[in-house]
Amino acid sequence: MLEASNRQIAALALSMLDLTDLTDTCTPEAIEDLCNRARTAFGNTAAICIWPRFVAQARAVLGLNSAVKIATVVNFPSGDLPVDAVLEEVRQAVADGADEIDLVIPYRAFMTGDEQAVRVMVSAVRHACPRPVILKTILETGELKDRGLIRSASHIAIQEGADFIKTSTGKVAVNATLEAADIMLTCIRESGRKVGFKPAGGVRTVADARLYLTLAATIHSPDWPMASTFRFGASGLLADILAVLEDRDAVAGATAY
């Protein structure tokens, strides 16, 4: 990754991008625009990531067999909903056409020592996601803070069937960090399973993307990062990707996610 050109990194990041709109003011018009922006002259983003209430609309816009997947969030952003309520969110999202479920683990309960709450939630949602629906688990690492907690949460999520482990909701003060990424990527390697990694929140430039991709390639292998094992959760990153691919200067999106 260190030797790759900016254009190469940009093209790779585009193919791994979960183009996101989880703003509280999101509208149907914004979702239509998001779907359109996910399909660029240089290729498609891996997915869009949106509120559950917009999944059916996005499916209608993108079509049934779209190369752009539809990801949605559940137990989001608090992580505090009861399991039954989360399962209802999952079932409705899948019925509406979601390809991927991004689940916030009950991280506050976990921080008080309740590991079982995480196991029960992740396992229940995994069983509610029929294959090939992908389950990503959001650990909210900026709130967990402690390396041991991040490590433990990563291993629990993997053991209970997560397809990806994801850093953050993008709704707290500290979101994706290279330190958290290092811990999570190492846990994936230790698990021996094919599990993906998704940094989310604060990845705004191709230079940022390079740092995460280089870390993943170092911990795993140079050919490990691909859309099936690595995603960026971002709203502003696409602007900088396109600027690089179009050989122009641009200020990357200043959005929080």
Supply the residues annotated as catalytic: 102, 166, 198
Helix/strand/coil (H, E, C) string of 11-63? HHHHHCEEEEECCCCCCHHHHHHHHHHCEECCEECCEEEECHHHHHHHHHHHC
Positive or negative CA dihedral for 57, 59, 62, 63? negative
> Per the structure block, which two tokens stand in for 173?
């003060």
Q: In degrees, to the nearest 5, what angle opens at C-alpha 31 toward C-alphas 68 and 251?
A: 85
Q: With contact defined as beta carbons under 8 Å apart, do 19 and 62 qualify? A: no
In whole angstroms, give the CA distance from residue 39 to residue 103. 25
Tokens encoding 23: 């703003």
The tokens 């921080």 sit on which residue?
111
Sheet containing strand 196-198, edge to edge, reads 196-198, 164-166, 134-138, 100-104, 69-74, 47-50, 17-21, 232-234
DSSP secondary structure, 170-232, as one string: S-SSS---HHHHHHHHHHHHHHTS--EEE-BSS--SHHHHHHHHHHHHHHS-TT--STTTB-E
